[in-house]
Structure 1
Amino acid sequence: MSIDLHAIEVRPAQLEDVPTLCAFFNELIRIGGTTAHETPFTLERFSTHFLDGPACVNCFVALDAGGRPCAFQGLERHDGLPAEWVDIGTFARPENKVSGAGTALFTASRVLAREKGFLAINATIRADNVGGLAYYSKMGFTDYKVDKAAPLKDGRLVDRISKRYLL
């Protein structure tokens, strides 16, 4: 599946994308505040988590006008969710963000989740991730649960807000 939305190409992530995606994902982890992940990923761990592991459903990548990955979105099964739900994570490179990449990614992910028979998509976002909360709200997700005071590695406590999108 390839979707062109305002010159943003979206396609399934491929093994050759892993070094670039992993590099900017690890930079997001280093910066902090926009992902629940706190430990950098190796290329192998990234690939298993987002592309070919047992929990993976799909991973789409958005390409900028130069054909370089600028964002990605993974769908995965999660033990804490109903069987007919899928979990989503969306990540954009920290510099030179491409406007509309998140919308293009979610368009593709939503279609695929429906095709695979899921009934809902879950997004769990740190309460201090204002941009992430705004993005999922803009995509049509609604709040349904708050996990209070989830501990981070450094001991800080941060609420996690779960939002759902009914398909």
Structure 2
Amino acid sequence: MINVRPAIALDAPSMARLLNPIIEDGSTTAIATKVTGDVLVTWMADKYDRDAWHVAVNNGEEVVGFQWIAQGGDYLPPEAAEIATFVQIGQTGLGIGSKLFDATRRAAKDLGYAWINANIRADNEGGLIYYQSRGFQDYGRIEGYEMANGQKVDKVLKRYDL
């Protein structure tokens, strides 16, 4: 059984262990540098006061997925949140992302957001399908986005109105 709850600092090492193989694979995330639990604690420190982090845990309280929303910085209006979703390799398609999004959608409304932006690599077929299945609609594209490692990818912008 999968349970979703707000993430806490003690989850960060497990979250890093989940995320680093995804980063190493290099085919689905724009994050190009491996992270540590300490880095994730820093990210979770609420730099914009409108962040929400959730983890999906199994019966043994092992993190099998996580998702966060944050204020989009300078490139999105204040009523829009940016979303990121990560599910443990080999655990996709089991409903983890759906349960995470249910919690994130509620949190986004509670934080006063009007819509959620998903910024997805165009070559990330699983990510594109996931966000489409949640009701996100295409609204833009970024051509030739340069990642931190110098790789260039196209990105699809999807929007979910709350």
Instruction: Return the TM-score normalized by structure 1.
Output: 0.89
Q: Is the 8 A contact 2:19 2:88 kept in 1?
A: yes
Q: Is the 8 A contact 1:64 1:98 kept in 2?
A: no
Q: Deviations over 1:76-108 (max 9, x none)?
A: 112211101111000011134471110000000
Q: Which runs of 5+ in 1 are unaligned?
A: 1-6
1:66 and 2:64 equivalent?
A: no
Aligned counterparts, 1:6-17, within 5 A: 7-17=1-11
Match of 1:166 in 2: 161
Match of 2:130 in 1: 135
**Farther off after superposition, 82-91 or 97-106:** 97-106
Give the number of equivalent residue pairs: 160
Instruction: Return the TM-score normalized by structure 2.
Output: 0.92
Q: Is the 8 A contact 1:70 1:97 kept in 2?
A: no
Match of 2:152 in 1: 157
Distance of aligned partners of 1:19 and 1:98 in 2 relative to their CA distance in 1, 3 Å threshold:
farther
Q: Is the 8 A contact 1:47 1:53 kept in 2?
A: no
Measure the CA separation in 2 of the matches of 1:84 and 1:165: 12
Measure the CA separation in 2 of the matches of 1:53 and 1:92: 22
Match of 2:140 in 1: 145
Q: Which runs of 5+ in 2 are unaligned?
A: none
